[in-house]
Structure formats: C-alpha cells, structure tokens
Amino acid sequence: MVTAMIWVLLFYQTFVLTAFHYVYRFVILCKPNWTWIQRNPWRNWLSIALFADFLYVGAILTDVVYGFIPRDGFRASFAPIMKEVYAIDLSASNEPGFLGIIYWEMIAETQLRMDILYFQSINENGLKEWNLHSVLAMSALTLVFSTSGLVIVYCLVRIIKDFGIDK
C-alpha cells in the first residue's frame, strides 16, 4: 500500500514540475506586477515551489486516502477478481492493501436499496443510484489534476498575449 502511494506521489510530481516551469517562464518573460519574486529569487522561488508542491501532493494524498483506500464493501467487490487474476486473497487475515474505487455495483434483486454513500445501486424504482463517496473522490482528484493544466494554459495565453504572437 505504501509503495502504491509513493508511486502516485512521484508520478504526479511531473505535473507540478511542468506547471512550475510555465509559471517561471511567465514571470521571467512577461514581468507581471508581482515581480517581488525576483527581489530575492532563490528564497522566493524555492518557497513558492515547496508550498505549491506540498499543497498539490497533500491534496492528492488526502483524496486518495479518502476515496481509494479499501473499505469492506470495496474489498468484497474486488476479492473475486484479485483472487482469480492475481492470486491475492483480500480476505486474508493481514488484509492486503490495494487502491480501487467502485462507482456502482449490480446487486441481487432482493436487495432493493443500499447506502447511497457506498455503491451505486438499483433502487426500488429500478433506477441506478451513484455512490456519492466515490463520485466526490474522483471529482476532487480530477479538479486537483486539472489545476496544473489550467496553470499551464493561463501562462501560455498570457505569454502569447504579451508577445503579440496571436496576430
């Protein structure tokens, strides 16, 4: 479980680093009003980088812990697949870790309704209900991932606008 979390954190460092490069280029090329960064550049850039990295990584870590760490229902749903494909018994006494998320689950007709925060289930009207917990976790993770893209797009647009390249 710990190695999976380390992989997640290291993989998404590339997005933080790329966005940070674009912010740096924007500040150097366009010289916005907040050029106070350049007064003491090493201290200021390192402080901003560390703050942004801790914020980004902390948001990812919090969301993964909140949304992907196995719960009993998730464990029960993944157990047959993990046993058959990977020969990992999720019901073992040491409860092996995995990262997974369930948006909905087909349930027996005798179970008309399950907790909406747990699975998407078929309710008494025969309609699907989304697992609010899983949807919120994925939405938050998507929002965090898209922030680096938004920063890059913003910096590119400002650089293009300031240099008049769009003409």
Reading the chain (167 residues) residue by residue, the pLDDT tens digits are 677 777 777 888 888 889 989 988 998 888 888 767 778 888 888 898 889 888 888 888 888 777 777 777 677 777 787 788 888 887 788 777 776 666 665 544 444 444 443 444 555 666 666 677 778 888 888 898 899 999 999 999 999 998 886 55
**Domains in the chain: how many in total?**
1
129, β-bridge pairs: 121
* Measured distance CA(112)–CA(81) in Å, rounded: 24
pTM of the predicted structure, to 2 decimals: 0.64
Per the rule left: phi > 0, alpha: psi between -120 and 50, beta: everything else, 71 is: beta
E-strand ranges in 1-85 read none
* Segments forming the whole domain that contains residue 29: 2-163
